[in-house]
Amino acid sequence: MRIYSSLQIGDYHQNNCEDHLFIGEYGKNHTICALMDGCTTALESQFASLLVGKILKKICLEKGYKEFIEKNNHSLSPEENLKVILQALLNELKIIKNQLMIDEKELLTTLIIILFDKVQQKGIVLAIGDGFVNINGKITEFEQDNKPDYLGFHLSEDFQTFYSSQKQKIEFNSLEDISIATDGIFTFEKLLPSKSKEKIDVIQFLTMDQTNSEKNDMLDFKLKRIENEFGLKPTDDFSMIRIIV
C-alpha cells in the first residue's frame, strides 16, 4: 500500500493556504488519512484546519501508547473506531476553545477522513462539509452550495445526535485505489499558456491515472505536468490524498 499526498495554495489566495492534511497510524492495524479546509470568510481560516490536524496526530499517538500498555485484543469495526476518533477530536476542540477563549468563527473547517483497517481490509470515509471522494473508481462529490457544514458548528451538540446526523459516510470492503480531495479539485482554470494542443481531464488524471505511481511524489509530479503542459492551476486551495494498493 502506497500513500501519496499533495497540498497547494490556490492561485486566488495570497497569504495562507487554508487546507491541511494528516496521514498517520491509529494503533497497529489502522491507517488514517484526513483533509481539512478552513472557511475563507472565517477569522484566520488556516488556524482551524491546522489545529484539527495536530489534534488527530495527538489522538493517534495516544492510541499507540494505549495499545502498548493495555494489549487489548478486542477489535472494533472501522465505523466504531471512527466514532471514537471523532468524539475525541470534538472533545479536544471544546477544551481548546474554552482554554484559549476562541470564537466559533476561528474553528470553522471541513473534514474528510478515511479510516482503513489493514487486518479486516475494510474502511470508511466520512465527509463533514464539501469535498471529493473516489473509491476504486466510483466518484462521489459532496457539494453544499458554498455553505459547507463545519466542525466548529457542532461543539455544543450532543455527540450521538451529531454523529447520527452525518449522512456523508461511505463504507468499503476493499482498497485498490482511493482518493480524497478538498473542493479545490474542482477549481482548476487555465491561468498560463498551454504547451499542449490536447485537453486533460484533471480529476481523472489525478485520481485514476497511475502513471509514476512508483514515485512517492506522484501527485506533485502530476500537478506540475498539469500546470506546465496545460496551463491549469487550482484557484482555490487544493489538498489531496491517494492510496493505491
Q: What's the pLDDT at 194?
A: 85
Residues of the chain with pLDDT under 70: 72-73, 146
Inter-residue contact 242 to 177 (CB < 8 Å): yes
DSSP 192-211: S--S-SS---HHHHHHT--T
Q: What's the pLDDT at 70?
A: 79
User: Grid coordinates standing for 58?
Assistant: 495527538
- 212-245 burial by CB neighbour count: b if 16+ within 10 A, else e? eeeeeebbbebbebbbeebbbbbbbbbbbbbbee
Q: What's the pLDDT at 197?
A: 82
> pLDDT digit string (tens) for 143-201?
877 677 898 899 989 999 999 999 999 999 999 999 999 999 999 999 998 888 889 99
User: Grid coordinates standing for 96?
Assistant: 481548546
Longest CA–CA span in the chain (Å) reads 60
What is the residue type of 24?
A: G
| Terminal Cα distance for the chain, rounded | 4
Q: What's the pLDDT at 143?
A: 86
**Strand order in 131-135's β-sheet?**
2-8, 238-244, 177-181, 131-135, 138-142
**Is the four-CA dihedral 141, 18, 40, 154 of positive or negative sign?**
positive
What is the residue type of 166?
A: Q
